[in-house]
Amino acid sequence: MKIAVFFVGEVQDAGFNASALQGAERAAAQGVAEISVISGVRYEQDAIRARMAEVVPKVDGLVFIGGQGNIATPEAAAAHPDTRFAIVQGQKTGTNLASYDVRQEDSAFLAGVLAAHVTRSGIVGHLSGHRVRPGLKGRAAFLAGVAHARPEVKVLTGFCGTQDDNSVTRAWAEAEIAAGVDVLFTMLNGARRGAIEACRAGGARQIGNALDWVETDPEVFLALALARIDLGVERAISDMVAGQVPPGIVEFGLGEGDVVSLRLGADVPEPAREAVAQAAADLRAGRIAIPDSYEGPEFTPERVACDG
């Protein structure tokens, strides 16, 4: 079976795409299918549609990586009923379309609990790029985690409009830090380096996502909001090869082993560790419901234009 794994942006982005690529590479190494990787596609729906139109006739299945596929993939699935489709971090299903959702919001909620417990300034921040559904849910969960732990803590939140431009993310992170943020939760890809530079220069700590930043840069990173996108990709490919199309969205959360978790740095104080552990237990037991949207105020730096 020929399966294309379709990425918006570059795959080696030190973030979400790189994690997804690991799953595709493992599936290819296992020989379950003939896997091709499509990358470098701009985050514009017309560009996505045009590239998919080139790829779909040449394959038996297509796995779209990211919530950016929630518009074009259902269209392609309807136009090609004999081809199988899947969206990882998707919200759409059909007779030949499956969606898989690694619940980044679970670890984002725990990141909010941690940030609220370790902040000294009483102001924490969130920074992401594109306003896609998974990122919006992650933002809502982080703010809910902060409010759950310490309602008095203020949160500055924003979408800078890019996952790849480090000059933009550095300027946004610098602006949040200048406004008092001392712990910054980021959901970024290739543009994370700009936020890292801002945190290092401004003495702020960062909570990352996707890859193990705690291990690679413990000076800056306080924790990692882990969401194993690679496992979602492997499951999507496995189901596709087996001819299975789950009728509903397949979710992976805190209850599925190490798929989703918050990995803490060595310098996280014990009271904060205990608070995170308790929140994780409450989430698993269903005692906490995480909201999936946020309608409150957003932070916009005066000297940086937001195109999000």
pLDDT value, residue 46: 97
pLDDT value, residue 50: 98
The DSSP secondary structure of the chain, one letter per residue, reads -EEEEEEEB-S-SSSHHHHHHHHHHHHHHTTSSEEEEEEEE-S-HHHHHHHHHHHGGG-SEEEEESGGGGTHHHHHHHH-TTSEEEEET----BTTEEEEEE-HHHHHHHHHHHHHHH-SSSEEEEEESS--HHHHHHHHHHHHHHHHH-TTSEEEEEE-S-SS-HHHHHHHHHHHHHTT--EEEEE-STTHHHHHHHHHHHT-EEEEESS-HHHH-TTTEEEEEEE-HHHHHHHHHHHHHHT---SS-EEE-TTSTTSEEEEEPTT--HHHHHHHHHHHHHHHTT-----S---S-----TTS----
pLDDT value, residue 29: 97
pLDDT value, residue 206: 98
Q: Which residue has the tokens 């596929």?
A: 69
Rounded to whole angstroms, how far apart are CA atoms 67 and 89?
5
**pLDDT per residue as tens, the chain (308 positions):** 999 999 998 888 777 888 899 999 999 999 999 999 999 999 899 999 999 999 999 999 999 999 899 999 999 999 999 999 999 999 999 999 999 999 999 999 999 999 999 999 999 999 999 888 888 999 999 999 999 999 999 999 999 998 778 999 999 999 999 999 999 999 987 788 999 999 999 999 999 987 778 988 999 999 999 889 999 999 999 999 999 999 999 999 887 777 899 999 999 999 999 999 999 999 999 999 999 999 999 999 976 544 43
pLDDT value, residue 175: 97
pLDDT value, residue 16: 84
pLDDT value, residue 308: 39
pLDDT value, residue 307: 42
pLDDT value, residue 133: 85
The DSSP secondary structure of 160-187, one letter per residue, reads -S-SS-HHHHHHHHHHHHHTT--EEEEE
